[in-house]
Structure 1
Amino acid sequence: MEPAWIALALSLKVAGWATALNLVLGVGAGYALARWRFPGRELLDALLTLPMVLPPTVLGYYLLVVIGKRGWLGAWLWEHLGINLIFTWQGAVIAATIVAFPLVMKSARAAFEGVDPQLERAARVLGLGEWALFFRITLPMAWRGVMAGVLLAFARALGEFGATLMVAGSIPGKTQTLSVAVYEAVQAGQDDTANLLVLITSLTCVAVLLIAGRLGGARVHP
């Protein structure tokens, strides 16, 4: 059963990196949408939420168009830096990051909108700068909702399948994550391996969801 644990380790690695990236990108986008008023704000919110509702194969195709060797970004990376993201674990990270991004962004936005703006105004009157205001007032008051979204994103990244398969493929030990390994095991008729992988994935995701529920409570609406 060693391949199962290799797939688990790779899945945790990919989900960990994707979650770390979304902690920065998703929280930043959620804060901007919650605090800034500008034309097209709700349209931008809808566009950033698209990965949550798009079919994984469509999202995977978009990624191939962008980061594939013939894509506008992928071609530049290959020609100038010799970097190829297709069929690599880094490509799996990009796919998982984009798929899980809306969960962090939507949860963060809701959490930041729940912070009393009068407290922020009072802090500004007392001379607190914007960075200090964010890290000392806004984020500590919104952290439960933010962390709930981050944990949900981790669970989503851990179980990502469609876009990851299209971008990273299924190379055992290199790009074969848990969800992809389940698919391969079922296709090969390896029921024992498939059962073990499904059990590991299910238990991990249930644990993450329980923690997210305790943190976010009824305030989280991804």
Structure 2
Amino acid sequence: IQRLPMHERLTLANMAVEAGAKTGLVASDEQTRAYLEARGRGDHWRAVAPDEDAVYERTLRYAASGLVPMVAAPHTVDNSRPASEAVGVRVDQVLIGTCTNGRLEDLRAAAGMLRGRRRADHTRLVVTPASQAVYRAALAEGLLEVFLDAGAVVTNPGCGACVGVHAGVLAPGETCVSTANRNFQGRMGTPEGSIYLASPLTAAAAAVAGEIIDPRQLG
């Protein structure tokens, strides 16, 4: 975990809560300090780490090398499975963004998958940067142009379709692949819609294919 870049740490902490934890913490280290200093908030940094004699209720260890692209199927976050087990599910809409996966690094990953490609004709693609700073940086890097060329609608920063209040509200019977953190019934509008949660890469691949696929199929 110490090797994870900050944007991945933020996603990890975010999803830990959605999976049922009361909170999700990653030790605050020099990488955290550099992240804050780059944003003019270095004076807010303080080291936070477990005590050497800390006792844990349970310790879980995972081999990162064995992880594969995953999705969370409707209607709960913990209804997870490898993307390969959901291959073929028709996708009416893809949402890339939100507080969970709308940072600049996430948009770079999605743009890398979409560059030179276009969304499927029957699939809407909505991209919502997480903040104005991310929006400006993505614009400067040419990422928004990549999304537009791929047939996406790029919205203003905010919660947007994730909470069913802006562009991207689902209609009855529609299925969305979203990089958000919640897929509860009715979350994105109609209670008759289905939401699959996925990473920016998996979501972008679904937009191109028009159905859920393992993103490794597109290289």
Please indicate the TM-score interval, normalised by the length of the shorter structure: under 0.3
**Which is helix-richer, 1 or 2?**
1
Q: TM-score, normalised by structure 1?
A: 0.23
State the structure with more CA Rg. 1
Structure with greater strand percent: 2
Higher relative contact order (CA 8 A, sep 6+): 1
TM-score scaled by length of structure 2: 0.23
